[in-house]
Amino acid sequence: MNTVPVELGERRYDVVIGAGVRRELPAVVSAAVPSAARAVVVTQAGIGVDVDPGIPRDWFTIPDGEKAKSLAAVEELCRFFAHSGLSRSDVVIAVGGGVVTDLAGFAAASFHRGTPYVNVATTLLAQVDAAVGGKTGVNLPEGKNLVGAFWQPSAVLCDTEVLTTLPPREWASGRGEMAKYAFLDTGRPLDAGSDVPFLDAPLDEQVARCVAIKATVVAADEREGDGRMVLNYGHTLAHALEAVSLSPGSSLDLRHGEAVGVGLVFAALLARRLDRITDDGVDAHLRVVGAFDLSPDLPPGIDPELLLTFMTRDKKAHHDLTFVLDGPDGVAVVRGIDPGEVLATLGEMETMRQAPSP
């Protein structure tokens, strides 16, 4: 069992990682939220993970899929909290992946202007990223995660035992975030010959390493100044692709980590276009994305102008186009990108996708 602290002063909490750690929930709740006399457990029907917080609890099941992250769902969940008699001294338990932890965390942040919550992360994506760091929120038709709050959990349990039942595409979703952390691991640019960080470590150690990287960044910049924005590496295009997939009538089916893999390659190509990295740096991105079994290809048939529109709404932007890009000193925030450079890079990705395999 690994324990990674997230050092935030009064809001400090532990992320506990290992096989079977969900069974530690009663002790964790007792220690992290000693005032809690009852709990509401929020989950999804397909999760299939039972937990016992050690206190009386009610269950609330949200719909499957990213579309569950809506303001209507927040209202429904908060009304359930009220009907169940939950007080601000009690606790919300989120059991599931990033959709559950984002939605339940935002509802907890809103109910009584702040109710404690504990995440029991059941997907690789949630364990290495979504359940840690206190960013909660829901989607709008205009973009992903545009409404939310910074509200730190009281504790996080990452039970690697439950990952054995994940379907392949859910694995891919988590691997996309792990690929991102590979570029943040050393703080230095990777080249085409570099070993991929932590790729060959046991799963518990891989999860712990990703959590430790995120914990260090969050402790230094809790509310997303330029420092924390590096955690969005690969996400500007990824979130735009996800916004397209959530649009009415869209046939695009792309998991978050799959979109991040595409976004990492896009970010590398854009960085090369801006003379921040060389061909060697692009090759390193392609190799890392491939090492995590992700496709680098931009899905066909998406209007580049539509992607650009969604990218202008990205949370990092200050009335401009802002990206996290690799460079001579590693990954950093770059503001004021010319839209023409973005469109040209999307065109380059389309050319790459259509090129015959060597």
Q: What positions carry a catalytic annotation?
A: 113, 135, 177, 214, 224, 228, 232, 235, 239, 256
Which residue, chain included where needed, has tokens 């997907």? 123
d(CA 47, CA 64): 9
- Tokens 């790729």: give the residue: 199
Residue 136 β-bridge partners:
149
Q: Which residues are within 8 A (CB) of 200 and not within 5 positions of it... i.e. 6 or more apart?
A: none
Cα dihedral 256/261/264/269 (nearest 10): -130
- The amino acid at residue 54 is G
The CA distance from 311 to 1, in Å, is: 39
Confirm if 236 and 307 have CB atoms less than 8 A apart.
Answer: no
Reduced to 3 states (helix: H, G, I; strand: E, B; else coil), residue 356 is: coil
What is the sign, positive or negative, of the torsion defined by CA atoms of 234, 237, 240, 245? negative
CA-CA distance, 323 to 235, in Å (whole number)? Answer: 9
List Cβ neighbours of 14 (8 Å cut-off, separation of 6 or more): 3, 4, 5, 6, 155, 156
Q: Measure the CA–CA gap between 316 and 80, rounded to whole angstroms.
A: 33
Q: At what angle do helices 304-312 and 235-246 cross, to 10 degrees?
A: 110
Is residue 223 within 8 A of residue 150, CB to CB? The reply is yes
Amino acid letter at 122?
A: T
**What contacts 144, CB < 8 A, 6 or more positions away?**
66, 239, 242, 243, 246
DSSP character string of 102-121: HHHHHHHHHGGG---EEEEE
